[in-house]
Amino acid sequence: MKDFVLGRDKVQEAKVTEVKINEAREHYRPAAARASLLYFIMNDLSKIHPMYQFSLKAFSIVFQKAVERAAPDESLRERVANLIDSITFSVYQYTIRGLFECDKLTYLAQLTFQILLMNREVNAVELDFLLRSPVQTGTASPVEFLSHQAWGAVKVLSSMEEFSNLDRDIEGSAKSWKKFVESECPEKEKLPQEWKNKTALQRLCMLRAMRPDRMTYALRDFVEEKLGSKYVVGRALDFATSFEESGPATPMFFILSPGVDPLKDVESQGRKLGYTFNNQNFHNVSLGQGQEVVAEAALDLAAKKGHWVILQVKRCSFFTFYHPAHCLEHSRH
């Protein structure tokens, strides 16, 4: 009987523990949801350029290190907020390094909009207008400072509840709107009258209609307002950060472009850690016809001794003929 009572107590205790675990899990769910969102945004980048390929395994490593870097806090709410911030910025840094300059703002804008949508901080209809910029055809602009195209966009906006009477207000207060539209940097100016109280997204929509040429600058300001200045400050490649995310079986891949020389960054980091050509633990092999044996020998030595190896490839198609995976495999034995 005593054993029965003891067993029943343990079952009850297990149920209570399960409830507590489930409650704790729910507190951390926002951080998990953010990580999931970030991964799928990153994974969709291949639609912009087929070269943008990111693996779930690599993402998991970035995620784990972001969790480790997140500042601790006695408050659970603050701890979760710190986790979300660390995960978001770490994934952003990891992703942005692999994008061409012309695609970085597109990714950053998508990142911002998707986060705001998840948090229900933006109106989906307004966002749709911003992205598609529909225009009402067959409309002539009644004011000289707006083209027929711009006026057609204003008419579409005016049909939405939050922009009701925008077209009439522009006609009735043409002087104020002319000053705004013809400003050198309208994204920095306040909108006329009560329109200055509109949300950041609504201001973007109006600028999209009237001054689409300023959207690049306006989007950067929008991202800075919503995510923080650290997301828009120009950053050079931080090799030290990239190095921390690599490992003996996780090589780094650099795509060369005019004016970019990652070798200098690699050599600089190597000197700090004692890896140099003079120390004979830093090997640089330019791959080409007949160099496979040299490259394999360098990789084999590095795998055994813990050296660094740089393989310079002029043609990506060369990797179909040569792949160093077997050398990495040898390093495990």
**Where residue 79 sits, what CATH number does that domain have?**
1.10.8.1220
- Using only the alpha carbons of the chain, give its radius of gyration: 28
Distance CA 197, CA 7 (A): 64
| Residue where one domain finishes, among candidates 200, 231, 262 | 231
Contact 131, 106 (CB under 8 A): no
Same domain, 10 and 37: yes
Instruction: Categorize the per-residue pLDDT at 312 as very low, low, confident or very high, splitting at 50, 70 and 90.
Output: confident
Taking only the tens place, the pLDDT of each residue in 188-212 is: 999 998 999 999 999 999 999 999 9
- What is the pLDDT at residue 4? 52
Helix, coil or strand: residue 250: strand
Same domain, 132 and 206: yes
Helix, coil or strand: residue 236: coil
Same domain, 113 and 151: no
Specify the pTM: 0.79
Distance CA 1, CA 53 (A): 62
| Residue where one domain finishes, among candidates 65, 87, 118 | 118
Instruction: Categorize the per-residue pLDDT at 15 as very low, low, confident or very high, splitting at 50, 70 and 90.
Output: confident
Domain with 250, as residue range(s), is 239-330
Residue 12 is inside which H or E element, if any?
Answer: helix 2-43
How many domains does one find in the chain? 3
In the predicted structure, residue 78 carries a pLDDT above the cut 50: yes
- What the block records as the tokens of 59 is 């993402």
Backbone dihedral region for residue 259 (phi beyond 0: left; psi -120 to 50: alpha; all else: beta): left
The dihedrals phi and psi of 286, each to the nearest 5 degrees, come to -90, 110
Distance CA 314, CA 248 (A): 23
Taking only the tens place, the pLDDT of each residue in 241-294 is: 778 777 777 778 777 777 777 888 888 889 999 999 899 999 988 887 777 888
Instruction: Categorize the per-residue pLDDT at 164 as very low, low, confident or very high, splitting at 50, 70 and 90.
Output: very high
The dihedrals phi and psi of 302, each to the nearest 5 degrees, come to -65, -40
Distance CA 52, CA 24 (A): 36
Same domain, 73 and 55: yes
Same domain, 135 and 201: yes
Contact 176, 197 (CB under 8 A): no
Taking only the tens place, the pLDDT of each residue in 87-130 is: 999 999 999 988 988 999 999 999 999 999 999 999 999 999 99
Distance CA 106, CA 125 (A): 20
Same domain, 97 and 145: no
In the predicted structure, residue 185 carries a pLDDT above the cut 80: yes
Residue 62 is inside which H or E element, if any?
Answer: helix 56-69
The dihedrals phi and psi of 276, each to the nearest 5 degrees, come to -140, 165
Question: What is the rounded average pLDDT of the residues 69-92?
Answer: 95
- What is the pLDDT at residue 101? 86
Question: What is the rounded average pLDDT of the residues 314-326?
Answer: 52
Same domain, 10 and 95: yes
| Residue where one domain finishes, among candidates 99, 118, 137 | 118
Higher-scoring residue by pLDDT: 227, 16: 227
The dihedrals phi and psi of 250, each to the nearest 5 degrees, come to -125, 85
Question: What is the rounded average pLDDT of the residues 37-52?
Answer: 95
Same domain, 106 and 138: no
Question: What is the rounded average pLDDT of the residues 311-325?
Answer: 58
- What is the pLDDT at residue 200? 96
Work out the percent of the chain whose per-residue pLDDT is above 70: 88
* In the block, residue with structure tokens 């390929």: 53
Question: What is the rounded average pLDDT of the residues 3-27?
Answer: 71
- What is the pLDDT at residue 303? 86
Same domain, 41 and 93: yes
In the predicted structure, residue 322 carries a pLDDT above the cut 70: no
Cα dist. 181→39, 146, 147 in Å?
39, 8, 11
Same domain, 206 and 279: no
- 79-117: buried (b, 16+ CB within 10 Å) or exposed (e) per residue? bbbbbbbbbbbbbbbbbebbbeeeeebebbbbbbbbbbe
Same domain, 255 and 223: no
- What is the pLDDT at residue 320? 47
- Count of CB atoms situated within 10 Å of the CB of 293: 8
Taking only the tens place, the pLDDT of each residue in 220-249 is: 999 999 999 999 886 556 677 778 777 777
* In the block, residue with structure tokens 């945004």: 41
State the angle between helix axes of 2-43 and 56-69 in degrees (0 to 180), rounded to the nearest 10: 110
Same domain, 87 and 53: yes
